[in-house]
Amino acid sequence: MQEQLTTEKVILEERQGEAVDLPGTNGHGKKLYVESYGCQMNFSDSEIVASVLIKDGFQTTRIMEEADVIMVNTCAIRDNAEQRVRGRLDEFRRVKKTNPDLVVGVMGCMAERLKTKLLDEDKLVDIVVGPDSYRDLPNLVRVAETGQKAVNVLLSREETYADIAPVRLGGNGISAFISITRGCDNMCTFCVVPFTRGRERSRDSESIVEEARQLFADGYREVTLLGQNVDSYLWGGGGLKKDILAKGDLTGTVSFAELMERVAQVSPLLRVRFSTSHPKDLSDDVLHVMAKYRNVCSYIHLPVQSGNSRVLDLMNRGYTREWYLQRIQRIRELVPECGISTDTISGFCTETEEEHQDTLSIIEAAQFDFAYMFKYSERPGTLAAKKLEDDVPEEVKGRRLQEVIDLQMRLSEESNRRDIGKTFEVLIEGPSRKSPDFLQGRNTQNKVIVFPRENFEKGQYVNVLVQDCTSATLKGVAVR
């Protein structure tokens, strides 16, 4: 999972009203301000963090100047993501001038990557906490309130926070994330995630189904099952996954396809999405479940990264160009109307012009509906940084990336143009960004559709006839 990065600042505020004042808790109504950057996993983690600290007596606030504790959830996937956080620390420094007791904490992947170096780098930082240590936050805050620095960056092989009910922050009250795995064992050579989020582990399947039931009861109508590589989810069997797979005895285990089927059975009115898939692990079983359940959305995000097998091998992606295209063909066979998106990296170490052309041609062949497109950014500590030379000049990386973007923009526009005249069932998520007279939602293929509000409400399903489009959005009218 590298994609779906949101660069905009998202301030999280508790939706459920007053914080609880528990005996022995430290917070006593102190104010917590949380800012999140990076992937969906980080947003889901921030809801765990809010839950842990609200249980300790904190309240959340959207107003930085009101905060007693500021926690920023960070991404380390590219250098500019980390520079962004350093910019925010300057903003928090301004707040600290008016509130000297303010506690500032850095959490997430940048915290895990840099550890105590962050304290040396910036004296403003009081707490550094990694993705597996959020249970320890009440204690870390107590230490920081005494003026000492507090650090916990221990990675775990077990931690899944399965027993912590996330406090839904921000969001639209209709769609929610449910994390099903943590960490990643894939070791793609360009990626920091295995070093910042640790070894892969799957969460108890019953706790996931129960969370989906609770969300449905609370009015949510869509859940996204989250993991760095959801396809390798495997719960149970009373042992380590690798031993279970080595024995080949899956008795008592729950695979990703089985988990998704159980979540889909919560209610036909609950849409089920998942992210992120890995081409080497995406099974036909998953595709069969998608075809069998109308409420399992027909959309897959399947990062390809490169269209050339030599480059894929250097990236340690575990599949070839041919394997990837075979997976795309299988998706089209078993889930004909499936929306497909991807990730690409341009200018990876030693990538030649011909190999760049292979990326362009695989995008053309796969006909993606949209993509997250990046140029290679070497990350310290990754296998590529240690073993491969970042030898493609920046201007060449930029030019190749632009060619990929231009191609994908054309394909996205063509994909949306093909939808004009079709009617889609849309789950209404809220008012359109541009006008309160319009509502927006997504179809099962994960495409955004905007249409006149009439008397419809968010959370409703409505059929919309598509009449026009841009490369990013479909426009239509509700039909009964």
Question: Buried b / exposed e across 448-476, counting CB within 10 Å, b at 16+?
Answer: bbbbeeeebebbeebebebeebeeebbbb
For 395, half-sphere exposure in the C-beta direction (CA atoms, 13 angstrom radius) is: 0
Do the Cβ atoms of 148 and 193 come closer than 8 Å? no
Minimum CB separation of residue 36 from ligand SF4 in Å reads 18
Q: Decide: is 341 part of the binding site for ligand SF4 (CB under 6 A).
A: no
* 191 contacts ligand SF4 (rule: CB under 6 A): yes
Which range, of 88-96, 162-170, 185-193, 391-399, touches ligand SF4 by CB under 6 A?
Answer: 185-193
Q: Contact, 228 vs 197, CB < 8 A?
A: yes
Q: Single out the residue of 147, 154, 146, 148 nearest to residue 129, CA to CA.
A: 154
3-state SS assignment for residue 176: strand
With beta carbons less than 8 A apart as the criterion, state whether 219 and 203 touch: no
Residues in region 273-302 near ligand SF4 by CB under 6 A = 278
Q: Which residue stretch of 45-53, 125-133, 184-192, 205-213 sits at the interface with ligand SF4 (rule: CB under 6 A)?
A: 184-192
Give the up-direction half-sphere exposure of residue 24: CA atoms within 13 A in the CB hemisphere: 0
Residues 49, 104, 176, 193: which binds ligand SF4 (CB under 6 A)?
Answer: 193
Interface residue with ligand SF4 among 103, 188, 296, 426 (CB under 6 A) is 188
201 binds ligand SF4 (CB under 6 A): no
Tokens of 378: 């070497």
Cβ 34 to ligand SF4, closest distance in Å? Answer: 23
Report, in Å, the least distance between residue 82 CB and ligand SF4.
17
Q: Judged by CB, which is closer to ligand SF4: 129, or 230? A: 230
How many residues bind ligand SF4 (CB under 6 A)? The answer is 12
Dihedral sign from CA coordinates of 175, 181, 182, 184: negative
The yes or no reply on residue 194 touching ligand SF4 (CB under 6 A) is yes
CB of 187 to ligand SF4, least distance (A): 6
DSSP string covering 46-110, please? Answer: HHHHHHHHHHTT-EE-S-GGG-SEEEEEE--SSHHHHHHHHHHHHHHHHHHHH-TT-EEEEEEHH
Question: Which residue, 76 or 287, is less far from ligand SF4 as judged by CB?
Answer: 76
Nearest distance in Å: CB 343, ligand SF4: 8
Q: Is 327 in the site for ligand SF4 (CB under 6 A)?
A: no
Q: Is 228 in the site for ligand SF4 (CB under 6 A)?
A: yes
CB of 25 or CB of 42, closer to ligand SF4: 42
C-alpha dihedral (30, 36, 42, 43), degrees to nearest 10: 80
The span from the CA of 144 to the CA of 69, in Å, is 10
Q: Which stretch binds ligand SF4 (CB under 6 A): 186-194, 204-212, 364-372, 380-388?
A: 186-194
Q: Which residues bind ligand SF4 (CB under 6 A)?
A: 1-2, 184, 186-188, 191, 193-194, 228-229, 278
